[in-house]
C-alpha cells in the first residue's frame, strides 16, 4: 500500500524541519538582546511571578510546566512543534507549495516564529490563546452572533488578565465594522481611517482622565529612557513630544505608519534584518488590505473572514500606539499569527470546510 504526501503538506513539513533546526540553533548564535525577555521569564530574578499581568503569568506558566529549568535549545524543540501543529490544524492551503508572494511571506514567518517564539516568550502564550478564536470561527460551533460574542469576550479577558491593550481591540474592531456598513466611496480606506480615529479618541480621553496620553505613557516613556542604548537602533520615537493633544495625534499616526508601512525603516539599509522586515511588512499589509476590501464588499458571504481581518487590523492600529521598536512589532505580530494565517488563506479554508 503506497503512502502519498501531497505537495502542499510536503512543503509544510519541509519548512517545519528546516525551521526546527533554526529554532534549536537560535540560542547559540543570536545576540543577547534577543533573550532579554526570555531571561526575565526563565530566571525571574525580580520575583515577578503572579496571576495577573503578562510577565507574572508567563513566569508562572514556565515554572508550572517545568520549561524554565530546561536549556533554551531544548525549549525550542518543544515549543516550535506545538506552534506548527496549531497551524497544521488550522489547515494547509492547497497551493502552499507554489512560490507566490503570499506563500513566501508565510515561509518567512515560520522562520520569524522559530527565532522569536521558540524561547521562553509571552508571545508563545498569546499564540496559543488566540488560536482558539480561529478554531471557534472555523468550526462554527454556535451561531455567528454567539461565536462573535465569545471572540470579543476572549479578547477582553485576555486584556484584563494578561495584556491590557487587548481590551481596546474589540472597541476598535466594532467601530471599524460599523463604518464598513455605511455605503460610502472607498469603504476600505474609510474603515481603516475610522479605526485609527477611534484609537486616537481613546488615547485623548485617557489623557484627559489620567493626565497622560497612551503613547506618551507607554512607548515614549520607555524609549526616552533607552534613547542612547546600543540595542535600541530601531526604536519608534515620535518626531514631536506627545504631551499635547496634537502631539499625541502625530505620535499615533507616526507609530502606525512606522509599524505597518515602515518605509522609514529603509534608512537602516545596512541592517538586513530590518530591511527584510520592511519588505515583509509592506507586502503583508497590502495583501491583507486587499482581502479586507473583498470582505467588506460582500459582508454577508464573508462575515467570519471580515471580522478576523478587523481583529488583525485593529491590532495593527494598537501597535501604532504601544510598540516601542520594530523588533517588538514583528515579535508581537507573531503572537497573533494564527489570526493572520487564517486571514491570508481564508478562501482555501472555506473550501476545506464546505
Tell me what pLDDT residue 1 has: 46
pLDDT higher than 80, residue 22: yes
Task: Give domain limits for the chain.
Answer: 1-120, 164-354
| pLDDT 10s digits, 75-120 | 999 999 999 999 999 999 999 999 999 999 999 999 999 999 999 9
Contact 223, 212 (CB under 8 A): no
Closest alpha carbon to 106 in 347, 333, 349: 333
**Residues ≥6 apart with Cβ < 8 Å to 199:** 168, 172, 252, 317, 318, 320, 321
Tell me what pLDDT residue 351 has: 63
Q: pTM for this one?
A: 0.95
Distance of alpha carbon 166 from alpha carbon 154, whole angstroms: 10
Rounded to an integer, the average pLDDT of 191-219 is: 95
Query: Is residue 285 packed enough to be buried (19+ CB in 10 Å), middle (13-18) or exposed (0-12)?
Result: middle
Given the C-alpha cell 497573533, which residue does it identify?
A: 336
Rounded to an integer, the average pLDDT of 26-36 is: 90
Dihedral sign of CA atoms 147, 148, 149, 150 in order? positive
What are the beta bridge partners of residue 235?
325
Distance of alpha carbon 13 from alpha carbon 19, whole angstroms: 10
| pLDDT 10s digits, 122-159 | 999 999 999 999 999 999 989 999 999 999 999 999 99
Distance of alpha carbon 254 from alpha carbon 237, whole angstroms: 9
**How many residues in the chain?**
354
For the chain, the C-alpha Rg in angstroms (whole number) is 20
In eight-state DSSP terms, residue 325 is B
Q: Bigger pLDDT: 334 or 328?
A: 334
Amino acid at each position: 500500500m503506497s503512502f502519498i504526501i501531497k505537495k502542499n503538506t510536503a512543503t509544510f513539513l519541509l519548512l517545519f524541519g528546516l525551521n526546527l533546526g533554526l529554532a534549536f540553533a537560535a540560542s547559540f548564535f543570536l545576540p543577547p538582546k534577543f533573550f532579554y525577555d526570555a531571561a526575565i521569564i526563565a530566571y525571574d530574578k525580580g520575583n515577578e511571578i503572579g496571576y495577573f499581568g503578562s510577565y507574572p503569568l508567563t513566569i508562572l506558566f514556565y515554572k508550572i510546566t517545568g520549561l524554565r529549568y530546561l536549556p533554551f535549545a531544548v525549549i525550542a524543540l518543544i515549543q516550535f512543534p506545538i506552534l506548527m501543529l496549531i497551524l497544521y490544524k488550522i489547515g494547509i492551503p492547497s497551493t502552499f507549495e507554489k512560490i507566490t508572494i503570499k506563500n513566501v511571506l508565510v515561509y518567512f514567518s515560520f522562520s520569524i516564529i522559530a527565532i522569536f517564539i521558540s524561547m521562553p516568550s509571552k508571545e508563545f502564550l498569546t499564540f496559543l490563546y488566540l488560536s482558539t478564536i480561529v478554531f471557534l470561527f472555523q468550526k462554527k460551533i454556535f451561531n455567528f452572533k454567539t461565536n462573535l460574542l465569545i471572540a470579543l469576550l476572549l479578547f477582553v479577558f485576555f486584556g484584563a488578565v494578561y495584556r491590557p491593550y487587548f481590551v481596546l481591540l474589540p472597541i476598535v474592531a466594532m467601530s471599524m465594522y460599523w463604518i464598513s456598513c455605511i455605503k460610502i466611496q472607498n469603504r476600505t480606506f474609510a474603515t481603516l481611517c475610522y479605526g485609527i480615529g477611534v484609537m486616537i479618541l481613546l488615547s485623548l480621553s485617557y489623557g484627559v482622565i489620567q493626565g497622560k496620553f497612551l503613547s506618551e505613557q507607554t512607548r515614549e516613556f520607555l524609549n526616552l529612557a533607552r534613547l542612547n542604548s546600543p540595542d535600541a537602533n530601531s526604536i519608534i520615537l515620535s518626531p514631536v513630544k506627545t504631551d499635547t493633544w496634537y502631539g499625541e495625534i502625530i505620535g499615533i499616526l507616526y507609530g502606525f505608519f512606522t509599524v505597518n508601512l515602515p518605509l522609514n525603516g529603509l534608512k537602516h539599509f545596512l541592517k538586513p534584518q530590518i530591511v527584510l522586515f520592511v519588505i515583509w511588512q509592506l507586502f503583508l499589509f497590502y495583501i491583507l488590505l486587499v482581502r479586507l476590501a473583498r470582505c467588506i464588499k460582500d459582508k454577508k458571504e464573508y462575515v467570519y473572514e471580515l471580522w478576523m481581518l478587523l481583529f488583525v487590523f485593529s491590532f495593527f492600529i494598537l501597535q501604532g500606539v504601544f510598540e516601542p521598536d520594530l523588533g517588538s512589532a514583528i515579535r508581537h505580530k507573531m503572537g497573533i499569527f494564527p489570526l493572520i494565517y487564517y486571514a491570508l488563506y481564508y478562501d482555501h479554508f472555506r473550501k476545506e470546510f464546505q
